[in-house]
Amino acid sequence: MPRVTVIIPTFNYAPVLPYSIGSVLRQTFADFELLVIGDHCTDESESVVKSIADPRVRWINLEKAAGHQSGPNNEGIRQAKGDLVAYLGHDDLWLPRHLAMAVGAIDQGAGLSYALTEMVRPGDPAPWAAPVELEYVPGMWIPPTNVVHRRETAIKAGLWKHFNDVPDKDPESDLWERIYRSGARVQFIRMLTAVKFSALKRKNVYAERPFNEQAEWSRRIADEPDFAATELAKMLPQFQGNRPFSAAMREFVTETIQRIRRRLRSTKLTRREIYEARLRFKGVKR
């Protein structure tokens, strides 16, 4: 049985899948299965995944769209053969030692582990790291792309909730907190192990389906032996000086959420209306 089940939730964005999947297949820790789970995909995602000649990779497509990664993620947890679960955004990338370090933290007693994720913003040469705080604080946002947890901890905590069912936080923050409050130890790994390309910073990304960023960053990760150290060095200003790391990152990571919440207070939009507005910005067509 594989030790880790990797879950890539996806929706109609086939051109980026070879890059995210490729970053999984290049992991130094190889004892995993990879479930690419479509939220009722209707594009060429299935053929792209099935063209990858690796028995560890499996395609699953939901018969009914959940409209959020919670649906594919929960299906992945249900079908997981590994005792550990790792997530990767379909347009994100892992560095080669991501799983090795995460599994090491779990083996030392953690129920959930996470490291630093580099947040790539269009048109901004300065890299930023997430999460906001280095040590876990309940309710803190951690990109799913950098989280590994014991399968049983998520089941015990109640699995993922849909965006519409979480009143005041993102579903991922809600799940991490429920895992923490269930008694699991949360462990931060002080290393950069992932790169994230937020769709909320890329207008119409699902309509245009670009993959140039993923291609370039994949090349850099493969060709630059000191990639992680180089990128971490660029992030040093976040850790020192007059602008504390946590404050600077909180401004970036929560920027979109705060804007939406202000709109909610001023216009009394429903959670469903907010969710649909986010989909329209990203160019998602259902």
Q: Tell me the angle at which helices 212-223 and 17-25 cross, rounded to the nearest 10 degrees.
A: 20
Single-letter amino acid code for the residue at 224: E
- How far lies 240's CA from each of 79, 205, 235, 243, 245, in Å? 44, 34, 10, 7, 7
Read off the tokens for 193. 């192990």
Residues 76-118 have pLDDT tens digits of: 999 999 999 999 999 999 999 999 999 999 999 999 999 999 9
Q: Two tokens at 127? A: 């890299």
* d(C-alpha 250, C-alpha 245), whole Å: 8
- Domain limits at 53? 4-282
- Per the DSSP assignment, residues forming a β-bridge with 94 are 194
Q: What are phi and psi of 21, to 5 degrees?
A: -60, -40
- Going by C-beta distance under 8 Å and a sequence separation of 6 or more, which residues neighbour residue 261? none
CATH number at residue 231: 3.90.550.10
Total structural domains within the chain: 1
Mean pLDDT value across residues 39-51: 97
Distances from the Cα of 88 to the Cα of 14, 91, 237, angstroms: 15, 8, 27
pLDDT value at position 272? Answer: 65
Q: Summarize pLDDT for 119-164 with one digit per residue, the tens.
A: 998 877 777 888 867 789 999 999 999 999 999 999 999 999 988 8
Distance between CA 32 and CA 34 in Å, rounded?
Answer: 7
Which of 8-17, 54-63, 233-242 bottoms out in mean pLDDT, i.e. has the lowest?
Answer: 233-242
- What's the whole-number average pLDDT of the chain? 87
**What's the pLDDT score for residue 237?**
73
Q: Which is more confidently placed, 265 or 166?
A: 166
- Biggest CA pair distance of the chain: 52
The string of pLDDT tens digits covering residues 157-207 is: 999 998 888 877 899 999 999 999 999 999 999 899 999 998 888 888 889
